[in-house]
Amino acid sequence: MEYITSAERIGMEQGLKEGLKEGIEKGRQENRQMLSNLLLAQLKCKFKNLAEPYLQKLDEADVDTLRQWGERIFMAQTLDEVF
């Protein structure tokens, strides 16, 4: 077994922490994009065309907001009722 210095061990731990942070952030971004794409498809199916302001709202929304809109779409009669 190879000896690892304290500095090497600390560096490895920091590298693992950074990698974990990056992985978590990438997963969040992918989840947000997936929710946004799903909601966009549902909105197009239900309301046909979406004006640019609605598309911009989708691009800027966080995961929690996208989930709320996703729940509202089932009862909404208009786009404004979703957003």
| Distance, CA of 74 to CA of 71 (rounded, Å) | 6
Confidence check: pLDDT of 65 > 80: yes
| Distance, CA of 35 to CA of 66 (rounded, Å) | 7
Confidence band, pLDDT 50/70/90 cuts, at residue 10: confident
| Distance, CA of 11 to CA of 46 (rounded, Å) | 52
Find the angle CA(70)-CA(57)-CA(55) to the nearest 5 degrees: 90
10-28 average pLDDT score: 82
| Distance, CA of 40 to CA of 17 (rounded, Å) | 35
Confidence check: pLDDT of 71 > 90: yes
The confidence score (pLDDT) of residue 1 equals 65
| Distance, CA of 64 to CA of 61 (rounded, Å) | 8
Between 61 and 6, whose confidence is greater? 61
The confidence score (pLDDT) of residue 22 equals 84
